[in-house]
Amino acid sequence: MMYSYDTLSEAVNDLRKRGFIVDFNLQENCLVCHSDKFNIEDFEVAEVYRFEGNTDPADEAIVFGIESKTGVKGVLVSGYGVSAEGMSAEMARKLSLHNR
């Protein structure tokens, strides 16, 4: 079931309430949380929410609800469009499959 949110913070807060408690950081070809690394095959995107800036394209962001194959659930917040972070082509494909 997908939810609808008006703001990025509302999405992140609700995901946290629903068990997505860790903060993932994006590296070129993996996700990192503390000292744990999750390669592309180690996780799935459970939910995706896009937010577009009203006047500034730099305010565009996307929130991913991520679940690892070991059961770790967390949130990845990233820019998209003009402010997208660098990542490998393989990671971009994995995340873009859910970016609709």
pTM of the entire structure? 0.83
Instruction: Please give the biggest Cα pair distance in the chain.
Output: 40
For residue 3, how many C-alpha atoms fall within 13 Å in the half-sphere facing its CB? Answer: 16
What is the pLDDT averaged over residues 71-85?
A: 76
- The per-residue pLDDT for range 58-76, each reduced to its tens digit, is 568 889 999 999 999 999 9
Question: What are the extents of the domains in the chain?
Answer: 8-96
Q: In this structure, are residues 5 and 13 in contact, taking their beta carbons and an 8 Å threshold?
A: no
Predicted confidence band of residue 82 (pLDDT cuts 50, 70, 90)? very low
Q: Is 34 helix (H, G, I), strand (E, B) or coil?
A: coil
| Listed residue (22, 82, 12, 21) closest to 52, CA to CA | 82
